Amino acid sequence: MQKRDLGKVLWIGLLFCLLTSGIAFGALGDRLLSQGSRGEEVRELQSRLIQLGYVVGPLDGIFGPKTEKGVRLFQQERGLPVDGSAGPQTLNELKLMTGESTTAGGTPIGPQNSDVNLLARLVNGEARGEPYLGQVAVAAVVLNRLTDPSFPNTIAEIIYEPRAFSCVDDGQINMAPDSSCLQAAQEAFSGNDPSQGALFFFNPAKTSNKFIWSRPQIIQIGNHIFAR
C-alpha cells in the first residue's frame, strides 16, 4: 500500500471514530430527538420524563410512540408547543424541571423533593383516577397530620404508620406516580388544601370501619369523604 493510500485510510478512520463517538456520547440537547431516535440522549430524556411522572415505556434509549406520548404530555402541561419532538425548548424546560436546587450562592444541594415524591406515590396509590382536586386533598390530609399531635412528625412516618393507608399494605405505594399525582403533591405542599383541614379520608362504598365513619365529615370530593 502506498503512503498516500495509508494516509487516506487513517483520515477516514479518524473521521469515522469522531462521528460515531459523537453519536454515542452526545449530550442531551445536542440534537433534535423524535420518533426513531436512539441512544444515550434518548435514554436520558426518558429518565428525566419518568422522574417527572410521565409514562414513556421501558427505559431503553429508543424514542418510540410511548416516549412521544410522554413528550407531548410534558409539552402540554408545561405550556410549550406540542409536537412530540424534543427540541431545544422542550429539553431546556426538562433540564430545568429535573435540575438540582441550589443555595442563593449557587451551591447545589440536591433535588430537595424526596417528600414530594413519596407523597405523590401515596396519592397515586390512594387516589389514582380521582379528580385532580381530590388528589390534592388526599395529599393535604398527610400534611395536615404533620401538624396534629396525634400523628407522627415526618411524612415518611405518617405514610408508613402501620394500617394508616391501604396502598402501603397492598404495595401500591411502590408504583411510579404519574405527573398529575406529582403536581397534586406539589400543590398541597404549596398550601392548597381542598380537604379543609381533614385528617382522614375514605371511600364510603368500600369502608365499614366504625372509627372512620364516626369522624366528623367535612366534604366529599370524587369518591372520597374527607373527615376530621
Query: Which positions lie near other proteins, rule CB under 8 A?
Result: 76-82, 93, 96-99, 101-107, 109, 112, 132-133, 147-154, 157-158, 160-164, 183, 186, 190-198, 200, 209, 211-212, 216-220
Going from the C-alpha of 159 to that of each of 28, 95, 101, the distances in angstroms are 36, 30, 25
Whichever of 63 and 201 has its CB closer to other proteins, that residue is: 201
Whichever of 37 and 75 has its CB closer to other proteins, that residue is: 75
**Least distance to other proteins from the beta carbon of 36, Å?**
25
Whichever of 121 and 145 has its CB closer to other proteins, that residue is: 145
The strand order across the sheet containing 224-227 reads 200-202, 224-227, 217-221
Whichever of 63 and 226 has its CB closer to other proteins, that residue is: 226
**Least distance to other proteins from the beta carbon of 124, Å?**
18
**Least distance to other proteins from the beta carbon of 109, Å?**
7
| Matching residue, cell 366528623 | 216
Phi, psi of 227, rounded to the nearest 5 degrees: -135, 160
**Least distance to other proteins from the beta carbon of 10, Å?**
47
Distance CA 224, CA 214 (A): 15
Going from the C-alpha of 213 to that of each of 20, 75, 168, 169, 199, the distances in angstroms are 65, 42, 21, 20, 13
**Least distance to other proteins from the beta carbon of 102, Å?**
5
Of 138, 143, 164, whose CA–CA distance to 155 is shortest?
143
Q: In residues, how long is the chain?
A: 228
Whichever of 3 and 191 has its CB closer to other proteins, that residue is: 191
Whichever of 61 and 160 has its CB closer to other proteins, that residue is: 160
At 49, is the secondary structure helix, strand, or coil?
A: helix
**Least distance to other proteins from the beta carbon of 179, Å?**
10
